A = this chain, B = another copy of it.
Amino acid sequence: MAKGFPTREEDYSQWYNEIVGRADLAEHSAVRGCMVIKPYGFSIWENMQAELDRMFKATGHTNAYFPLFVPKSLFEAEEKNAEGFAKECAVVTHYRLKTDENNKGKLIVDENAKLEEELIVRPTSEAIIWKTYKNWIQSYRDLPILVNQWANVVRWEMRTRLFLRTAEFLWQEGHTAHETKEEALEETKMILDIYAEFAEKYMAMPVIKGVKSESEKFAGAEETYCIEALMQDGKALQAGTSHFLGQNFAKAFDVKFTSKEGKLEYVWATSWGVSTRLMGALIMTHSDDNGLVLPPQLAPHQVAMVPIYKGEEQREKVVAELKKVKSELEKRGIRVKLDDRDTHKPGWKFAEYEFKGVPIRLAMGMRDLEAGTIEVARRDTMEKKSLDVHDLPNKVEHMLENIQENLYNKAVDRREENTHSVDSYEEFKEVLEKKGGFIYAHWDGTSETEEKIKQETKATIRCIPFEKAEEGKCMVSGKPSKQKVIFAKAY
């Protein structure tokens, strides 16, 4: 266990904070609620971005950029959306500062530079984008529009946690426009599949696909589809959402198109997003009491190399050999960091790469060099062994695949162990309190029952899963239920 570092058992929340800070992922900034994403953390986010961007483009989407600000009158056009975000809006009211006459060297807001209309810093971009789409769409020939944006958004939060809940965060938001309801629904589902594939294949994080209940859906959407993951502490995390917006925004912004049949119709819409919140999900899926654990697909360095030597002569020999090995590994597309700094000792480096979750660490000293061997340590299992250096690239490649798979399987096993199905409210409360995790239970479909459960237990409906339906009776009201839904306490 790392020095001065709490175990997950001792204090999960503190453990999380320490990982984020000590693995150089992010830190709090001088601005309340806003984070600094540090270079190492940002590289992981860049790897996530690269894969998602590739997947979006492979399905016909292109990127664009829309303004950071939304004039208040546009923001309020789609009433439910506006209502949903009104309490979290950062508002720009002035456009100039001036020198404070009474306080040399200080600046004050220039009251003569008050905006006629306040600008909202985007909490999400449907309003400004649909205002724009109105000019882009006249006929069915202009559809579909399949656009994505990588951007920063601001939602004022009183209680913040790095990556999980911050006033400013980074995300991608897709905004598409379609001729028909069917096509928009298909898009909504296709994107959900992309999110699920990304979570499972790249993050090695199993997710459940489903639909949100009325009270949990996006403000302004007809339906919100989501992927839900289960963290190590038994709490759920919403990892991505894909919204079927119906014609709500088209109506709010009067966006109509002439159909193939010559009729004037409102456009159908979707929007969808994942954010830097995924960084939190990644940490709470794999990391352990020794620090961060990263799946090879997203690790900035898949392999870290540490030379062990005494004196400059040994150093040169060992580093020269490691450079050869590095070059062989890089030929296979493996991301390698050779740490040949002589300002830090090998032990320090071992601890550093272990804590930062580098999947494989290689170490070589003079004895290895002479014997043609190298020490290989796996971060996920903490196993160490000595391998023949000549056959290393194959072995490392294979091991990286194996680590990725192992992390995924471990996460699936953990989720299965922490997924329960209950038939009564008593049982529900007991399982929730003693075990946590995902709890499948029958629910009558009303917001009243949902609210009662939330008030009494703090558990919310994470989703109505797409999985097999099995009829029954609501655990609270006894009314008929078409299928069990998933409850959990959530981040």
Q: Residues on A close to B: CB < 8 A?
A: 27, 29-31, 34-39, 42-43, 45-46, 62-72, 74-76, 79, 82-83, 86-99, 105-107, 109, 118-121, 128, 131-132, 135, 141, 147, 151-152, 154, 156, 168, 170, 343
Contact = CB atoms under 8 A, between A and B. Distances in A.
A94 B93 contact: yes
Given A36-B66, A42-B63, A67-B31, A119 B90 contact: yes
Contacts of A39: 62-64, 147
A100 B170 CA distance: 31
A144 to B, nearest CB: 13
A35 B64 CA distance: 11
Contact of A31 (B45, B46, B119, B168): B119
A298 to B, nearest CB: 15
Given A95-B91, A96-B156, A76 B29 contact: no
Contacts of A118: 109
Q: Which of A30, A76, A151, A154 has the most CB of B within 10 A?
A: A30
A132 B91 contact: no
B141 A71 contact: no
Contacts of A29: 66-67, 128, 131-132
B71 A31 contact: yes
Instruction: Say what secondary structure dominates the interface of chain A.
Output: mixed
Contacts of A71: 30-31
A94 B31 CA distance: 14
Contacts of A98: 86-87
Contacts of A119: 31, 90
Which one of A37, A91, A119 has the greatest number of beta carbons of chain B within 10 Å? A91
A123 to B, nearest CB: 10
A34 B95 contact: no
Contacts of A65: 36-37, 42, 45, 170
A467 to B, nearest CB: 37
A341 to B, nearest CB: 9
Given A29-B132, A64-B38, A65-B36, A90 B95 contact: yes
A30 B117 CA distance: 12
Contacts of A105: 76, 79
Contacts of A74: 30
A34 B68 contact: yes
A87 B95 CA distance: 8
A400 B94 CA distance: 49
A96 B92 contact: no
In the complex, the 5 A-B pairs of residues with the closest C-beta atoms, listed nearest first: A34-B67, A39-B62, A37-B65, A86-B97, A95-B156
A260 to B, nearest CB: 10
Nearest to A82: B107
Nearest to A120: B97
Contacts of A132: 27, 29-30, 36
A94 to B, nearest CB: 4
Contacts of A69: 31, 34, 90, 168
A332 B379 CA distance: 39
A275 to B, nearest CB: 12
A97 B152 CA distance: 20
Most B-side CB within 10 Å, residue of A65, A75, A86, A343: A65
* Most B-side CB within 10 Å, residue of A38, A83, A120, A141: A38
A31 B90 contact: no
A135 B98 CA distance: 30
A147 B120 CA distance: 30
Contacts of A86: 96-99, 107
Contacts of A154: 68
20 contacts: A30-B128, A31-B71, A34-B67, A35-B67, A36-B65, A39-B64, A75-B107, A79-B105, A86-B107, A88-B96, A90-B92, A91-B93, A91-B97, A91-B109, A92-B92, A92-B121, A93-B93, A95-B156, A97-B120, A152-B152
Given A68-B154, A109-B118, A89 B93 contact: no
Given A67-B29, A67-B31, A119-B31, A109 B96 contact: no
Contact of A42 (B64, B96, B109): B64
B67 A93 contact: no
